[in-house]
């Protein structure tokens, strides 16, 4: 049965890839992004594939806007919440701007909590809901110069476990996808910054930092995340909740 999917950061990268795949499976997609034009263009791309789609402009750090979403969306019933919006900042902790540290936490940890708070009552009422957090390999391991990102992504795991306990009596699940490096604009931008912080070439950043820990030595593909998300919203995954799904090419097997 077709469901309505609300996906933050949905206009590009991982978010758009997941949105496109779920739309191709017949689900209705709400592309949520801070960039209105990007959201509109993403929906136009999906509409060209006969995917039902609606752009939603939202700053996920605006807790008031989140709290009033159910009113703003009017007759939309949100069945699936995908917390995907994210940013990165690479710096030593001594050089990390406090306001930037706070921003990363607000976008990648506080926002998923507040969005869950907004949509969970409706999910309880309908006795159905799927919440998927897009975490990271940095939800389970750390890398230098990414203290805010690592802290936020680690926090998602504890949050998911807690909500799983709070929703056990309903057909509601919450899980976190944790991929190793995915070749997205966010990761591309990191390569140059990491090269500077580590004093190595960009090629060495890719081979010695990003892919070296992975026995498979390959970037994770967006399609892998999309298909995993599709499984998590299926009835076959109704008892998978509070879990950390790691797509890491064997990174954490060591």
Structure tokens at 103: 């921003």
Res 154: pLDDT: 98
What's the distance, CA 194 to chain centroid?
22
Q: Give 107-122 pLDDT, tens digit per residue.
A: 999 999 999 999 999 9
Contacts for 254 with CB less than 8 Å, ≥ 6 apart: 213
Res 185: pLDDT: 76
216 phi, psi to nearest 5 deg: -80, -15
Structure tokens at 53: 């789609």
Listed as ranges, residues in the chain with pLDDT below 70 are none
Instruction: Give CA–CA dist 110/197, Å, rounded.
Output: 28
Angstrom CA distances, 106 to 16, 69, 103, 113, 127, stand at 21, 17, 5, 10, 29
CATH class of the region 4-179+221-246: alpha beta
Which residue, 108, 54, 58, is CA-closest to 83?
A: 108
Structure tokens at 34: 């801070």
Domain ranges for the chain? 4-179+221-246, 181-219
Instruction: Give CA–CA dist 50/44, Å, rounded.
Output: 10
Under 8 Å between Cβ of 201 and 195 = yes
Which residue, 162, 76, 72, is CA-closest to 112?
A: 162
Terminal CA-to-CA distance of the chain, rounded, Å? Answer: 40
Residues taking part in catalysis = 149
Structure tokens at 195: 């090269």
Res 197: pLDDT: 82
Give the predicted TM-score (pTM) of the model. 0.94
The residues pairing with 220 across neighbouring beta strands, listed in sequence order, are 182
Q: Give 180-224 pLDDT, tens digit per residue.
A: 999 887 787 878 888 888 899 999 998 988 899 999 999 999 999
């Amino acid at each position: 049965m077709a469901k309505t999917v609300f996906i933050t950061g949905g206009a590009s990268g991982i978010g758009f890839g997941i949105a496109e795949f779920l739309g191709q499976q017949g689900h209705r997609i709400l592309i949520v992004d801070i960039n209105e034009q990007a959201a509109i263009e993403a929906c136009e791309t999906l509409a060209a594939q006969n995917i039902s789609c609606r752009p939603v402009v939202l700053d996920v750090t605006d807790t008031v806007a989140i709290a009033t979403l159910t009113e703003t969306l009017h007759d939309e019933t949100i069945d699936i919440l995908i917390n995907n919006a994210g940013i990165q900042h690479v710096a030593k902790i001594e050089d990390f701007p406090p306001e930037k540290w706070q921003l990363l936490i607000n976008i990648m940890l506080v926002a998923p909590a507040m969005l869950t708070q907004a949509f969970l009552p409706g999910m309880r009422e309908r006795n159905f809901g799927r919440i998927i957090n897009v975490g990271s390999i940095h939800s389970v391991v750390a890398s230098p110069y990414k203290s805010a990102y690592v802290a936020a992504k680690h926090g998602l795991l504890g949050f998911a476990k807690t909500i799983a306990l709070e929703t056990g009596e309903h057909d509601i699940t919450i899980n976190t996808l944790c991929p190793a490096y995915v070749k997205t604009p966010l990761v591309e931008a990191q390569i140059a910054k990491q090269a500077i912080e580590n004093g190595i070439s960009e090629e060495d950043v890719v081979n010695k930092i990003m892919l070296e820990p992975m026995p498979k030595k390959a970037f994770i593909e967006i399609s892998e995340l999309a298909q995993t998300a599709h499984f998590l919203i299926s009835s076959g995954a109704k008892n998978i909740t509070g879990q950390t799904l790691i797509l890491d090419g064997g990174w954490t097997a060591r």
